Amino acid sequence: MKTFASIAGAVAMLALCAVPCGAQDPATIDPAHFKVELNNDRVRVLHVTVEPNTKIQLHELDDAVVVPLTDYESTLKRPDGQTKVVERKAGKASWVGRGAREIETGGRGVDALIIEIKHAP
């Protein structure tokens, strides 16, 4: 009986981890669209290039600053179902909070730098 309880506990822990672990690093799962330009102990800079009208799968970002290199519009969808249309202007930096998201680009695609902020451990 003790063994069954241990196995049940381990299965429960795996199930709890399944939701947050679903989103992954975009540079790892989608290197065609996310290229690491710089990575050190303080920041990671990603160059994001996505064709028009393209869906990007669920991925996770840390707190970041996005710097659009061109004007674009995209739709962000969170795992909880929240959807937000964002319009970015070339050169105008914006704050992006950490979290998981899917992206669907508009008719112009996306060309931007994402500067992820690494927090002290």
Query: What is the pLDDT of the chain when averaged over all its residues?
Result: 86
User: 49 near 110, Cβ under 8 Å?
Assistant: yes
Residues 36 and 38: their CA atoms lie apart, in Å, by 6
Q: Look up residue 24 and give its amino acid.
A: Q
Strand order in the sheet with 99-105: 55-61, 99-105, 72-77, 83-88
The pLDDT tens digits of the residues spanning 39-85 come to: 999 999 999 999 999 999 999 999 999 999 999 999 999 999 999 99
Q: What is the DSSP secondary structure assignment for residue 7, as one 8-state letter?
A: H
Structural domains in the chain plus CATH codes = 23-117 (2.60.120.10)
Nearest to 65 by CA among 81, 48, 83, 41: 48
**96: which strand partners?**
64
pLDDT at 6: 43
Q: What is the pTM of this model?
A: 0.78
